[in-house]
A = this chain, B = another copy of it.
Amino acid sequence: MPVHAPVIVINYKVYPESVGPVAMELSRLCDEVARKAGASIVICPPVSDLFCIQQEVGIPVWGQAADAVEPGGRTGHVTLEMLSNAGAEGLLINHSERRLQIADIEWLLARARKFKLDTCVCTNNSAVSRACAALEPDFIAVEPPELIGGDISVTAADPDVVRGSVEEVRKVSPNVRVLCGAGVKDGKDVRKAIELGAKGVLLASGIVKARDKRAALMDLVSGLK
């Protein structure tokens, strides 16, 4: 089922605060906030927690990454089959911390369609957004690497990369929806993202490392309205 936009995509990464029992707790919280606020939230837990989390929540659960390989004689890889089997409904592709070759991005997108997995390709600037949009993923998420994990939201630090990506993507593949990320933390950042033409945000530490995760989530979703 297609993800409702505008959307907040939470990449758990592999922080101590996002692996194991605490990942389950965070997931239940996201699920509750999404329901109560009528907000569209997607969560991307570590692959080792994906199956159990997906059993417990109603919101879409995505993989953080997949390897561009067929099932078979491979060791330690994460295939689309593994994600799908574990209950994932989509995945991030080419995150800044897991960059892929262009041929592999295309391969994963073509195969993810067969599994009916939603796809979000991460990019670092408008030109790369344009190139990846030509491959027609469901989402492009532009995140300048130098702002990832930082304190200033991309919407304040570099609004042009958001506007530029929205514009470039529209020219090449008008159906692809653009998200933005890096430094996103609160409802104000989400509101600004939407004003710039984005259909939502991708974030990690802003929620995962927040002292009061419920308050941080509530603030975040307030920006969707």
Contact = CB atoms under 8 A, between A and B. Distances in A.
A3 interface: no
Contacts of A115: none
Interface stretch (A25-33, A49-57, A154-162, A185-193): A49-57
Contact of A101 (B72, B102, B134): B102
B52 A85 contact: no
A35 interface: no
A142 B19 CA distance: 33
Given A48-B47, A75-B65, A75-B92, A101 B103 contact: no
Contact of A82 (B14, B65, B83, B86): B14
B135 A127 contact: yes
B97 A73 contact: yes
Contacts of A65: 75-76
A96 B101 CA distance: 10
Interface of A: 11, 13-16, 19-21, 46-52, 63-66, 69, 71-79, 81-83, 85-86, 92, 94-106, 110, 123-125, 127-128, 130-135, 148-149, 172, 204-205
